[in-house]
Structure 1
């Protein structure tokens, strides 16, 4: 049973966990122990992609600037500012260099479809992210669009993925941050969110810097179950053909809300840090 989300910031709509669905499996090189577990549907409506209302506000804001000829700065939007990472077009594997990024992060383990800790982690991420956003709006040029949910997935036991032993999966769930956000701002946002929302999991939110560097990436269109062939191609064909091997944890970015999107139209960025296979 997927836990119901109860507490939510006043400006959010109330959200309910979606019914979980299985995912495809990543067949990873055993020497690294990384893996991509299945990922259920969104725990929160807005946990996969941006809230529709925020997208509309951002679009209206940019349209207004264009019509008025204003020089004001539009809110930072990672999907716009890092299109190659968050709005890729390629459906075949290709290599790119991923710049250093900072995130809000929560670590955990267990079945993401059923573990209460997973639902609590996602809720804590968004509570902190929106607290940061509302505080940033008070400063000129500080506003930003909260990014989509992302995840790093792995297991110490490679067999946990082939056997679908979801309780053995480990994960770090992420929400990207604008480069200008400081550690002090993150700490202040956590304190405010803890005080106002009384969510114990907020204390587990941390600021994480990722330096993924060279990566193989594509955007997958379709059901999560259908990712398996693309991942098998990556590890069985693409990486060996380019004399590469996995160099980090499997990374996924969830661009679509499965509660509002037909399975055939779901979009998920699949990313694998790589290194030379010396």
Structure 2
């Protein structure tokens, strides 16, 4: 059985250099869960767990039909209230972490359809009783033209890398056209902070 790996099909979406680059992010659909609060808090942790539980439940269900796939990397979109008045994401980082909004994502293959996904998520909920599974859905994501760069190191040092994106956008005459997006290539539970690798992405126009 051939296993589909979207990180290999869309290599450009899961790789980045130390210098910002422009790329086109094609539309796709993702398992999604929305929330608000400190990323070190309980709600965030339980949302991540629910998202992965849903992803692996869908993978197992489709594998039985001969359509196996590798579960993609965790991604996150971040914003704050009244973001339309904020010029750059660095300003948003000054907002208390308890006031951060986020949408956690895991990309799904195109053959995963909503009705089947919801059925498999419901089965997982009945089996595991994880309340946050009820908040997981399959959602379309469209970003198009974007800039991205690799951040190496702990999340706390992201501002310096974000500044690289800001400087690059200004040099290229680009303006933000969407919310701050992060792709987590490393598992923080198993990786030392100084070895974490995170792609920082900003849709632009």
Preserved contact between residue 79 and residue 92 of structure 2 (Cα < 8 Å): no
Distance, in Å, in 2 between the alignment partners of 1:263 and 1:123 is 20
For the 8 Å contact 1:160–1:168, the answer to whether it is kept is no
- Bigger Rg over Cα: 1
**Is the 2:151–2:200 Cα contact (8 Å) retained in structure 1?**
yes
- Mapped to 1, the partners of 2:16 and 2:142 lie a distance apart of 23
Higher percent of residues as helix: 2
1:161 counterpart residue number: 93
Residue 22 (structure 2) pairs with residue 90 (structure 1) = no
Does the 8 Å contact 2:185/2:198 carry over to 1? yes
Q: Distance in 2 between matches of 1:253 and 1:230?
A: 14
Q: Note the alpha carbon deviations across 1:175-206, whole angstroms, 9 max, x for none.
A: 11011101111111121111111111111111
Cα deviation for residue 117 of structure 1 reads: 2.0
User: RMSD value over aligned CA atoms?
Assistant: 1.5
Greater relative CO, 1 or 2 (CA 8 Å, sep 6+) = 2
In the alignment, structure 2 segments of 5+ residues that lack a partner are none
Matches within 5 A, 1:44-193: 72-73=1-2, 75-86=3-14, 88-114=15-41, 116-140=42-66, 142-157=67-82, 158=86, 161-162=93-94, 164-193=95-124
TM score, norm. by length of structure 2 = 0.91
Pair 1:144–1:258, CA change in 2 (3 A): same
CA 1:268–1:238: 2 relative to 1, 3 Å: same
Any gaps of 5 or more consecutive residues in structure 1? 1-71
Instruction: Write 1 or 2 for the structure with the bigger share of strand.
Output: 2
CA shift for structure 1 position 144: 0.7
Partner in structure 2 of residue 9 of structure 1: none
TM-score normalised by L of structure 1 = 0.68
Shift in Å, 1:233:
2.4
Partner Cα separation in structure 2 for residue 165 and residue 228 of structure 1: 15
Q: Between Structure 1 and Structure 2, how many residues are aligned?
A: 198
Alpha-carbon distance in 1 for matches of 2:153, 2:21: 19
